[in-house]
Amino acid sequence: MRINNTKALAEERVNDALKREFRGIGLYLFSVSGIINILALTGAFYMLQIYDRALASGSIPTLVAISALAIGLYLFQGLFDIVRSQILVRVGARLDRKFAPIAHKVAIDMPRFGFSTAESLERGRDVDTVRGFLGSQGPMAIFDMPWMPVYMIFVYLLHPLLGAMTLGGAVILTLLTIINELLSRRLANATQQAVVSRNAVADSNARNADILKAMGFAGRAVARYDKANREHLTLQTRGNDISGTLGAMSRVLRMLLQSALLGLGAYLTIIGDLSAGAIIASSVAATRALAPIDLAIGNWKNVVGARNSMRRLRDTLVSLGDAKEPMPLPAPAKSLKVDKITVSAPANGRVLLSEVNFELQAGQALGIIGPSAGGKTTLAKALTGIWPTLRGSVRLDDADLGQWSDEALGSHVGYLPQDVGLLDATIAENISRLGVTPDPARIVAAAKAAGVHDMIVRLDGGYDTPLGPQGNVLSAGERQRIGLARALYGDPFLVVMDEPNSNLDGEGEQALTRAIEGIRERGGIAVIIAHRPSALVAVNLVAVIQNGRMTAFGPKDEVLQPQRTTSNVARADFSKGGAVA
């Protein structure tokens, strides 16, 4: 109950904030739309005056005066229409500036909780959808609809029967709009999910292009994408069929209504109840009255898409609105405490690590070994705050990781994952973690600590060398050493390395050893997930992780002593130089 109340309060705060920010603009656009719709009666009045006054009197000056007035009013209408359109475009840009960074922040966080890259990037596409909708004809229909009664009253004043016929047409078109909404709502959600699934397959294929090429199953990967794409096309075709059919029906109905009004107007004129000018005027006004509904039906797909995107963006704001900025804490300098943590996989909730408990003091380095899929990488992600713990806590100087903001915690933590993950930026920008005003001396110091400075300066661009997507201009070993420099940048208190020597040669492994020694000498803490024994040269403690549990912890020499028990086979193999994943 408390969670529901908290969410409701967060939603209320977000809705109030959005109303405060855009209420004034909405009222202004409503007023401008009123002026545009009043001026749009110019055509009807012009026809009325031409037939009933200019032609009846045969006066050319009257015709010229009426025409000049009509031209002026049309120009004013066009001017206000331009103003409204430009305001909507700028509102879209304003929303983009407000939501895009927030959406991208959520997109960065979502993969940590088991979402695919395609699902994460949908948040950014939601921003594009809303902005594109505001620049389209859809909002024009929405702002024009409240002014439809003006035209109906005008037609009714010309003759009640004409007004009744126009009202009947409006009711039928409104029913078509409701039918469109009912048929499109569920289909739009299914189509959105199909797009995400298709994009997820495309993203997976693109990231693994080398594997597909080398082992010759690119064709099967394309077939898998084609299947997902066909499902998307089927749903999209059904949606287009609905909107196209109802759009065609609304256009035909408008033409029938226009002809019916002309026929009824002619009859009323014949019997003397209506003037000739009123026939044309009623037809023009009725057409304008029904235009917003017709336009809405034609753009309903965009309306539904923008509404769903806006709802997801609002939910994003609500989720972020619940988060409070923690009070700044002193930089950690004493200890790392792992207090009986249990960690599960975000994607499926399966427990990967249970009741892991240990403590490290400043100046210590821990090597973590164990069989593949034992939970070593899961522990690394828990230590760095990437994955939350189900139970227990990870503490720096007795403060839980949640007591730091992401940015503050990041300045105290260095992380070198198995997949280095260099950004599409320069070497200096990667090492400095995209620092706005990075200190060149600290960048060079981190590179030297990782033993990669000499390699960098031999490049034509030096530290300003752009790495391109995924850093493919460098070898795997070079990327890993630059990733190590990034982890060491700013002398963070805790440095976690996941298989840091998997792509290193002898020189690189020596540099890694010196880096670990440097962390210990300056009073930091290093945690190294070992793939080869050479990674543990500079550590003083070793832990064994097996089947999601810590089965040993202690001084390196004691833990790595060859034993004959089954539980120590991994340690015995490791001490002899075998690779333990």
Other Cβ atoms less than 10 A from the Cβ of 38: the count is 14
Q: Is 465 exposed, middle or buried (0-12, 13-18, 19+ CB in 10 A)?
A: middle
103 vs 159, residue with greater confidence: 159
Q: What are the C-alpha distances in Å from 80 to residues 33, 75, 76, 402, 474?
A: 8, 9, 6, 52, 56
Residue 563, pLDDT above cutoff 70: no
Alpha carbons 66 and 74: distance in angstroms, whole number: 12
- Band (94; pLDDT cuts 50, 70, 90): confident
In this prediction, residue 579 carries a pLDDT of 39
In this prediction, residue 18 carries a pLDDT of 63
Hey, which of 398-407, 464-473, 484-493, 497-506 has the most confident mean pLDDT?
Answer: 484-493
Crossing angle for the helix pair 148-158 and 276-298, to the nearest 10 degrees: 160
List, for residues 398-432, the tens digit of each pLDDT value: 899 888 888 888 889 999 988 888 888 889 999 99
Q: Are 283 and 262 in contact (CB under 8 A)?
A: yes
- CA 164-177-148 angle, 5° bins: 45
| Per-chain mean pLDDT for the chain | 83
Residue 135, pLDDT above cutoff 70: yes
**Joined tokens for residue 288:** 């304008």
DSSP H or E stretch at residue 116 = none
- CA 342-346-349 angle, 5° bins: 65
Whether domain 335-575 has CATH 3.40.50.300: yes
Residue from 490, 488, 509, 491 nearest 500 by CA: 509
Residue from 193, 140, 178, 146 nearest 308 by CA: 193
- Band (528; pLDDT cuts 50, 70, 90): very high
Return the domain boundaries, the chain. 2-319, 335-575
SS3 525: strand
Task: State residue 473 phi and psi, 5-degree precision.
Answer: -75, -10
Residue from 41, 45, 127, 32 nearest 86 by CA: 32
Residue 577, pLDDT above cutoff 60: no
Task: Supply the DSSP string of 197-256, one letter for each residue.
Answer: HHHHHHHHHHHTHHHHHHTT-HHHHHHHHHHHHHHHHHHHHHHHHHHHHHHHHHHHHHHH
The mean pLDDT value for 143-151 works out to 88
Alpha carbons 118 and 144: distance in angstroms, whole number: 37
Residue 4, pLDDT above cutoff 70: no
In this prediction, residue 566 carries a pLDDT of 37
The domain defined by 2-319 folds into: ABC transporter transmembrane region fold (1.20.1560)
- Band (2; pLDDT cuts 50, 70, 90): very low
Q: Are 134 and 89 in contact (CB under 8 A)?
A: yes
In this prediction, residue 320 carries a pLDDT of 62
Residue 471, pLDDT above cutoff 90: no
Residue 77, pLDDT above cutoff 70: yes
**Joined tokens for residue 366:** 């821990």
Residue 576, pLDDT above cutoff 60: no
Residue 5, pLDDT above cutoff 70: no
The mean pLDDT value for 156-167 works out to 90
Single pTM value for the model = 0.72
Q: Are 509 and 536 in contact (CB under 8 A)?
A: no
Alpha carbons 480 and 420: distance in angstroms, whole number: 6
Question: What's the distance, Cα to Cα, between the start and end of the chain in Å?
Answer: 45
H runs (alpha helix) in 110-146:
117-134, 138-144
Q: Which residue is listed with tokens 């035209």?
A: 151
Q: Which of 334-343, 447-456, 468-477 has the lowest mean pLDDT?
A: 468-477
364 vs 320, residue with greater confidence: 364
CA 397 remoteness from chain centre: 35
Q: Which of 66-70, 146-150, 230-234, 324-328 has the lowest mean pLDDT?
A: 324-328
In this prediction, residue 446 carries a pLDDT of 92
Q: What are the C-alpha distances in Å from 78 to residues 83, 108, 142, 327?
A: 9, 44, 18, 54
Cα torsion for 35, 36, 37, 38, to the nearest 10°?
50
Cβ within 8 Å of residue 105, ≥6 positions away: 320
**Joined tokens for residue 214:** 């080398």
- Band (564; pLDDT cuts 50, 70, 90): very low
Residue 581, pLDDT above cutoff 50: no
List, for residues 6-35, the tens digit of each pLDDT value: 445 545 655 566 666 677 788 888 889 889
Q: Which of 328-337, 358-367, 556-565 has the lowest mean pLDDT?
A: 556-565
Other Cβ atoms less than 10 A from the Cβ of 314: the count is 15
List, for residues 238-277, the tens digit of each pLDDT value: 888 887 888 788 888 888 888 888 899 889 988 888 888 8
SS3 365: strand
In this prediction, residue 105 carries a pLDDT of 79
Q: How many residues does the chain have?
A: 581
In this prediction, residue 542 carries a pLDDT of 92
